[in-house]
Structure formats: structure tokens, C-alpha cells
Amino acid sequence: MEPISFLLGTFTDLVDRIINLEKSKIQDKQSLFDEIVHPLFEELEPVASNYIEIFRQAKRRISESSYEDLREIGLQIEDDRNTMLLGRIKVREMADQISENIKDENVVVFANSINKFFYRAADYPKRMSSHSRDLVSVFKSASIKKYGKSFLINYIDIITGEMEDSWASIVRNYEAIKIISKSPKKFIRTNRKETKSP
């Protein structure tokens, strides 16, 4: 687990880069990609991988366990969730800072798509409940046994499907910004549609 001082240092570095870009009025899309978009994507990858793995492991444990073990599985999911909590907070806050301070619409769409990865569309940006918090709540429910293993597995399949779709949107937005920022203008289509997240 990374110490909080490291997480804060990385976050502060990102904010400084945003401020410096604004101060110097850099309009260069390549600098925007190199200084803002790419570092955020690199921070996100291990966090997103860990997040999806929580759900995959939960599904495997449910399949291999009896009803009596469901509460214990819930406790393990909560532990797994807490392991990368600071990493998720850092990525979400970085995305928020980018979306609030950068004027480039494609970059804002990219940053917003990152936050949506952790939440159902209806919950973002309220953040009342994330996918993993909802899963832990289901396992803590007094009526966990009434759900049954097949319900829990189906629930996890729906959530992981949403996250995979969300990840595809993030990658699509990231690659679009990369292409626009790194390719000579003569190779870029001028009539292409804006990259939007689903």
C-alpha cells in the first residue's frame, strides 16, 4: 500500500501541472496529453484492474462455497475493497481536478468516463454508492441467504459487464486524445464525431 504522503505528492504534482499549463496558456495538445491525460491513465490502469478483480474473485468464491460461507466471503470482499481504496480515491480526485480545470472537451469527457467506471450511471456524480460498496452491502444484508448464490453471481456478472463497457469507453477516449495530440493535422479526420462515453 502506498503511503498517503506519496498519494498526496502525486496529486499535488498533477495540480501543479494543470496550473502551469493554464499559466503559460499552452494550447499544444501533445503537451496536454503527455502532462495530464497519459499520467492519469497510467494511475488508473492498476486501480481498474484491481477493482474488476474484486468482483471476479467474489464470483469464484461464491461458486465454490456453501450458503454458510457467504458472510465470510462478504468480509473478504470488504478487505479486498479496502486494499486499494486510497488508489481509487487518488484517481477519482485527479479526474475531478482535470474535469474542473481543463478546457479541452475531449479531455473532460475522458476524465468523467474514469469516474463513471466506479459507479452506476445513475449514481454518478452523487457518489452515494460505488459498485464495490453495493456488493459489500448485499453481503452484509440480514437476508443474504434469501438471495441465493445464482442471484449473487448474476448480480456480479451485470456489474462486471458494466465495468468492462466503461473500461472500453475510457480506452476509446484515451486513444482518441492520443491520436489527435500526436498525429499531424493532415492525418486527422475533420468530420469525426466527438468521443463520448456511453
For residue 68, give the DSSP letter: G
For residue 58, give the DSSP letter: H
Q: Per-residue pLDDT averaged across 163-189, rounded?
A: 83
CA distance 129 to 122: 10
- Parse the chain into domains and list their residue ranges: 4-185
Question: Which pLDDT score, from 0 to 100, does residue 109 have?
Answer: 93
Question: Which pLDDT score, from 0 to 100, does residue 20 have?
Answer: 67
Lowest mean pLDDT among 125-129, 135-139, 153-157: 125-129
Question: Which pLDDT score, from 0 to 100, does residue 27 have?
Answer: 53
CA distance 162 to 167: 9
For residue 60, give the DSSP letter: H
- Listed in sequence order, the residues at least 6 apart from 175 whose beta carbon sits closer than 8 Å to its beta carbon are none
CA distance 191 to 195: 12
Distances (CA, A) of 39 to 45, 149, 180: 10, 40, 17
Helix, strand or coil for residue 136? helix
Question: Which pLDDT score, from 0 to 100, does residue 122 have?
Answer: 47
| Confidence class for position 107, pLDDT limits 50, 70, 90 | very high
Q: Per-residue pLDDT averaged across 57-74, rounded?
A: 83
Max avg pLDDT among 71-85, 87-101, 120-134, 136-150: 87-101
CA distance 104 to 36: 11
Q: Per-residue pLDDT averaged across 153-175, rounded?
A: 93
* 136 pLDDT higher than 90: no
pTM across the whole model: 0.74
Max avg pLDDT among 1-10, 26-35, 69-78: 69-78
* pLDDT over 70 percentage in the chain: 75
How is residue 34 written as a grid cell? 503527455
Per-residue pLDDT reduced to its tens digit, 32-51: 888 899 999 999 999 999 99
